[in-house]
């Protein structure tokens, strides 16, 4: 594909289209990566959809913990769908271009789902804190209304940050080059294409990353600090094991999500490299979304039982 940026510029010289960089000149490598990402994408969609469906259709799972888990599954579906389809097309097609409006839309939804997930993971940690540290008051304090407000607040924060960041970045002029050295319209590679001084925009991205990644993470750490203190003074080994078991899946998901996100957005600019950024992007957009339903279904007996009931109903309807 011939990337002549002049044909994509408007009368003012600003770019109307971008193009994603080709992963490799070797077609077999691109097709191999396409196959791997497609399989992980389908596994992610299937796993997260099944968990959300199982929670919605099984009354025994209509509790705060599983309400938040259903929201997490929906976020993961949106997260991957905002990025992966275009990524797959760019891997095996010469049509790797994307309009400025399309790029802004992708950035908005990606940011919305990513920031919402940060906040929702903090809400899930607070729920575990209340369940373990205040079990007698858990049912009244973690009411349906509070859970709904926490979920809505998570989505609302993601929406506001997505709108603010996308509008701030795409108010800049882009005069070339027009090739995005990435798989999707993420903030740092788009900023690299802007004309003039972008230091204020880069600072804004970093500040938002600090507030929206570090702040929820600190709330998670504080919640688990209190949980650990409560678990250590439990007299029963069985009680300690059960308490830690209810937290282990969430802790593993937090580690995967925050680990990759922090390395991507909070490390110094001088240490960024296109190759590493792409590898991390594949991890936090595809791998973690695929692993989350596996983690929760393997480590949670209630989820496994609900999935079996849901799949059993589907089979019965199919054969019926």
Which CATH number goes with the domain that contains 110?
Answer: 1.20.1070.10
Number of domains in the chain: 1
Give the bridge partners for 179, in sequence order. 19
Residue 16 lies in a domain: no
Residues for the chain: how many in total? Answer: 320
Of 18, 25, 172, 155, the residue nearest 99 (C-alpha): 18
Residue 74 lies in a domain: yes
Residue 164 lies in a domain: yes
Dist CA 12 CA 10 (whole Å): 5
Give the bridge partners for 17, in sequence order. 99
* Whole-Å CA distances, 304 to 47, 205, 296, 308: 12, 40, 8, 6
Residue 202 lies in a domain: yes
Of 43, 119, 107, 132, the residue nearest 75 (C-alpha): 119
Residue 299 lies in a domain: yes
DSSP code for 179: E
Residue 15 lies in a domain: no
Dist CA 186 CA 50 (whole Å): 29
Domain with 55 in it = 26-318
**Residue 141: how many CA atoms within 13 Å on its side-chain side?**
13
Instruction: Give yes or no for a contact between 269 and 199, defined as CB atoms under 8 angstroms apart.
Output: no
3-state secondary structure of 9: strand
Instruction: Give yes or no for a contact between 50 and 293, defined as CB atoms under 8 angstroms apart.
Output: yes
Give the bridge partners for 18, in sequence order. 98
Residue 1 lies in a domain: no
pLDDT in tens, 31-43: 998 999 999 999 9
Q: Quote the pLDDT of residue 13.
A: 58
Residue 77 lies in a domain: yes
DSSP string, 75-100: HHHHHHHTTHHHHHHHHH-S--EEEH
Q: Quote the pLDDT of residue 266.
A: 64
Residue ranges of the chain with pLDDT lower than 50? 1-2
Instruction: Give yes or no for a contact between 103 and 18, defined as CB atoms under 8 angstroms apart.
Output: yes
β-bridge pairing 17-20 and 97-99:
antiparallel
Dist CA 115 CA 126 (whole Å): 17
């Amino acid at each position: 594909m011939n990337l002549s940026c002049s044909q994509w510029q408007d009368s003012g010289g600003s770019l109307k289209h971008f193009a994603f960089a080709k992963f490799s000149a070797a077609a077999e490598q691109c097709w191999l990566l396409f196959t791997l990402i497609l399989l992980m994408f389908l596994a992610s969609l299937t796993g997260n959809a099944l968990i959300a469906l199982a929670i919605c259709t099984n009354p025994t799972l209509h509790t705060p913990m599983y309400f938040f888990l259903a929201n997490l599954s929906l976020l993961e579906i949106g997260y991957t769908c905002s990025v992966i389809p275009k990524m797959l097309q760019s891997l095996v097609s010469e049509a790797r271009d994307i309009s400025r409006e399309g790029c802004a839309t992708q950035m908005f939804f990606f940011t919305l789902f990513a920031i919402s997930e940060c906040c929702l993971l903090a809400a899930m940690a607070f729920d575990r804190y209340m369940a373990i540290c205040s079990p007698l008051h858990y049912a009244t304090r973690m009411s349906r209304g509070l859970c709904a407000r926490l979920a809505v607040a998570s989505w609302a924060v993601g929406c506001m940050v997505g709108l603010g960041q996308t509008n701030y970045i795409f108010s800049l002029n882009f005069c070339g080059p027009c090739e995005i050295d990435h798989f999707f319209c993420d903030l740092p590679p788009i900023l690299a294409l802007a004309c003039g001084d972008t230091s204020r925009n880069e600072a804004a991205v970093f500040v938002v990353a600090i507030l929206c990644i570090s702040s929820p993470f600190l709330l998670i750490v504080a919640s688990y600090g209190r949980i650990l203190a409560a678990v250590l003074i439990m007299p029963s080994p069985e009680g300690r094991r059960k308490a830690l078991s209810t937290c282990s899946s969430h802790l593993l998901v937090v580690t995967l999500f925050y680990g990759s996100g922090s390395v991507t957005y909070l490390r110094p600019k001088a240490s960024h490299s296109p190759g590493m950024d792409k590898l991390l992007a594949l991890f936090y957009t595809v791998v973690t979304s695929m692993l989350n339903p596996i983690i929760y279904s393997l480590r949670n007996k209630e989820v496994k039982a609900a999935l079996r009931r849901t799949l059993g109903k589907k089979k019965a309807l199919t054969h019926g």
